[in-house]
Each structure stands twice: as structure tokens, then as C-alpha cells.
Amino acid sequence: MALKNIYNLCDAYKFSHPIQYPEGTTKVYSNWTIRGTYIPNLDYYIFYGLQYFIKEYLIDRWNTEFFNLPKEEVISKLKRRLINFFGKADVFHYEKLHELGYLPIEIKALPEGSKVSLRVPCVSIVNTLPEFYWVTNMLETIFSNTIWGAINSATISSLYTEIKDKYLKLTCDDYSLKDFLQHDFSYRGMFSNEAGIISGSAFLLFSNGTDTVPAVDFLENYYNADSDKEFIGGSVPASEHSVVCAGGDDNEEDTFLRLITKVYPDGIFSYVSDTWDYFNLINNIARKYKEVILKRNGTIVFRPDSSPKTPLEIICGDKSLEDKSSLEYKGSLEILWDIFGGNINSKGYKVINPKVKIIYGESISIPLYEKICETMKQMGFALSNLIVGIGSYSFQYNTRDTLKQACKATYVEINNVPKEIFKNPKTDKSGKQSAKGLLKVIKIGDKYELLDKVNKEDEMQSELKTVFKDGILIKETSLNEIRQLCRKNI
């Protein structure tokens, strides 16, 4: 649903703000800052999503839906909306903006993909013409709506990657699959199509596995990627429950055999394995066709999709059970090792025969993923044996306040007199206090730090660099550049 009303994409109260600022206001300077977090032990965020916002909203939509249309057309539509909404309409400021023909603002930012300390801003925005002081914060709503999810999903993807990299280093000597051990399963569970695509693109900063096909298009369209020249993201053929159900519960053995020998005689194929009896499939049917699987030119990936407790017990076994000989006690890793064997790598961990793997994509969370990785390590299994599908639970069950993201004005000029402004509510000492005045972000080693209340000369020397000014994208970045910042560990 693409409503052709870019000038309406703001909170209602924004329309009344131009006349609320003190008389003589000529400049409003604001910033976007991640003020804190509800995620335990997190002291950073990953900055991402600005270039999409600029290209899609500030340039394309403001031009096609406002500046490039006749003034009478857009102003009459705006008047109608405001009269029906408020009972009156003051559109003088928008008439002047249309006559100007572009958004008179300057946006400065850190490089996208940067790992930034909490409470250090990643973006500043200021008007470039004195009569358009009101434009700075008029853009806050759509900016916030677009950017917070991208930052959230990039940061959450980073946390998963930190865990993965930690256990890869501990248990593996072959890192060739490192970018495919986490897979995006979130698209269908996201709040909207745009949210799913933006989040999926953020995931691809850290991983190459995805089922969110349009995330690849997104990165080509907005981040100068080219799937003909670089691997952006991809997946493999996989069955779903409707396919297996169609074969019948008394005929799963034939369904499995048909799919792995006739439909996909080679290559990687993922088989959803819990439509009826997961442990029968993975132990008995897989054992029966062991030689068929071993002779295939490719890998069979078994996908359990449900569990009586958590995915941990399905993957690593339920060690609370009394019957230590049961398949449920053993778990998927031990069963596949018993059937297909493998080797012990140089770090002393079991690597199951590469003809088979496991992917689990149901109810994975950051704490559970870390628990699974640690349990695998204790059991003597290398992390490379397991792929996890990360679904919408990890991304959708978060809000803008998960990272306490906010846009705040810290500096104004009234009658050409500079004034440092700030927010400091006595009723809240949990992090809502804002910086003051003009801001300068500096970099010491690998860390960004904030200096506030600086002069104009210092502000110009900030690590926040101009990326957009007066309707023009000044500096572009690419997926490759962002990935280089995001993928430093292994």
C-alpha cells in the first residue's frame, strides 16, 4: 500500500509546530541517538538503513508526490486532509516549500554498518535555509518509522553472529560455511512487507542465508549491490508440510525417497522432517536409505520444526529423560553421528558426514541459540553441524524502545543567536536525557565517543559526515562496504 501522500507521513501534531517555535527561529538541529537498551549486556548498536530512507523517501517520494506535482494539486489535497482532521488548515509553510522545489536540510551520518556505542548519535539533521527551520523535525516521524527497525534487526543479527563466531573459533577448523550457518526465516512473520524486506536486508549484512528473496532486490536497488558480481544471499530447495502431507502419513518413506532421488538427485535439499514422526524419519528411514544418501552428490538437510520443550532437546537430546537409550534422549546430533559417522577435527570436535546436516528454524532466540551452541560444545560437536533458521520472533518481538531510539533537537538559533537546548525530565532518569548543543562524534581506536556543546568549527570536524543536502544524495555506500564493517571477526 503506497499512499501517494509523502507530505502527510508525520504525526498530527507536527503540522502545528511551525507556529509554535519562538518568533525569529531560523535553525533547528537534531540528532538520532540510541539512548539505551533492554537487551542484557549490550553496549552497542549497528547503524543501518539511512541510505534507503534518503533514496526512497527524501528523494524519490518527495519529488514524485510533492515537488514534481502542480502546487495547486498537492496543496488542495493537504488542505482537505487537515480541515477534515483538525477543522482548519494552515498550509502557508508547505506552499513555500513547494515553491522552493527541494528539501532544504543537511543530513550527516556515520558510515552505515558501524558498530556504535550507546548514547552516541549516528545521524544529525539541520535545515539549510532559515525560513525552513520547521522541516528538520517535521521529518522525524517517517525517519523514525523507517530507520528504527533497520537498526534493531542489524543489531540483533550482530548478536547472533557474535555467538556463532565465538563457537566457530572454539569448535571448528573449517570456516567455509560460516556465512551460511544462520538463515533468515522471518519474512512471513513480520508486521508488513516493507518491514520484512528491510529486516531481511539487515540480516544479510552478517549472513548469506535467507528465504527473504526481495531483500536481495532491496540491496541492489538501494545499496549498489549486484548479484551478478557478488553473492548477496540465497537458499536451497526445501519441502514444506503441505508437500509431505500430500504424500500421506502411511507413505512418507516413498515421499522422502522420491524427493531425494528423483526430484533432487544431487545438490542440497532440505526435508521438513516432523510432519508426523520426526525421530522415525531421522533414525529409521534415514538409516534405511543411508547408502542412497551417501551416494548422492550433495547434502540432505533434516529440518525438525517442532519440539515438546525447546529446540535444544531436539538438537542435543533431552538429558532429563530416564531412558538413556531412547532417541529423544540422544537427540539429532548423536543419531546422525551414529548412522553416518564423520571425523574429529583438529580441535577435537565431531564433524558429522557432510552428506547430512540439521537446520532448526522454530522458536530460536539469542539466549537459546547460545545455550544450544554451548551444549553442542560440551557434547563434543562442532558448531558447523547445525544451521539455525532465525525467524520473526527474534526481530518482530522488539520495538523502537528495545534500543530506546529517539530523535531530539539539541540546538536552535533564534534571531541569529545560538542556543543550546536539551531534554532532562525530572520524572525519568532512565536515559531520556538528551545531549546539549552542537555535537561532535570522535573515534578513539574502534570506538565512537560523543562530545556535545561544541562550536560550529568542531561540529564540522565530526565523524558525522554529510550524506544528503538540499535534495541531493552527496555520499553513497555499498553493501560490500557495509559488510566489511560488519564482518570483522572471522
Q: Strand, helix or coil at 299?
A: coil
Supply the DSSP symbol for 429.
Answer: -
Q: What is the pLDDT of residue 439?
A: 97
β partners of residue 301: 270, 357
Domains and CATH numbers, the chain: 155-396 (3.20.20.70)
Taking the model in full, what pTM does it have? 0.94
Q: Which residue has the cell 526481495?
A: 214
Q: What is the pLDDT of residues 399-435, one digit of tens each?
A: 898 889 999 999 999 999 999 998 776 666 666 677 8
pLDDT-above-70 percentage for the chain: 97
Q: 214 φ, ψ to 5°? A: -70, -10
CA distance 66 to 76: 12
pLDDT, average across residues 9-22: 91
Q: What is the pLDDT of residue 434?
A: 76
Reported confidence tier of residue 397, pLDDT bands at 50, 70, 90: confident
pLDDT, average across residues 156-165: 97
Q: What is the pLDDT of residue 305?
A: 85
CA distance 482 to 361: 26
Q: 488 φ, ψ to 5°? A: -105, -20
Q: What is the pLDDT of residues 22-61, one digit of tens each?
A: 999 999 999 999 988 998 889 999 999 999 999 999 999 9
152 in Cβ contact with 200 (< 8 Å): no
pLDDT, average across residues 65-88: 93
Q: What is the pLDDT of residues 115-155, one digit of tens each?
A: 999 999 999 999 999 999 999 999 999 999 999 999 999 99
pLDDT, average across residues 372-378: 98
pLDDT surpassing 60 at residue 1: no
Q: What is the pLDDT of residues 324-362, one digit of tens each?
A: 999 999 999 999 999 999 999 999 999 999 999 999 987
Q: What is the pLDDT of residue 429?
A: 60
Candidates 311, 305, 331, 308; CA nearest to 319 is 331
User: Between vectors from CA 396 to CA 395 and to CA 399, what angle results, nearest 5°?
Assistant: 95
Q: What share of the chain is helix, strand, coil (3-state, %, to 5)?
A: 45, 20, 35
pLDDT surpassing 70 at residue 6: yes
What is the average pLDDT score of the chain? 94
Q: What is the pLDDT of residue 2?
A: 58
Reported confidence tier of residue 393, pLDDT bands at 50, 70, 90: confident
Reported confidence tier of residue 308, pLDDT bands at 50, 70, 90: confident
β partners of residue 31: 124, 408
Do strands 386-390 and 356-360 pair parallel, antiparallel, or not at all (unpaired)?
A: parallel
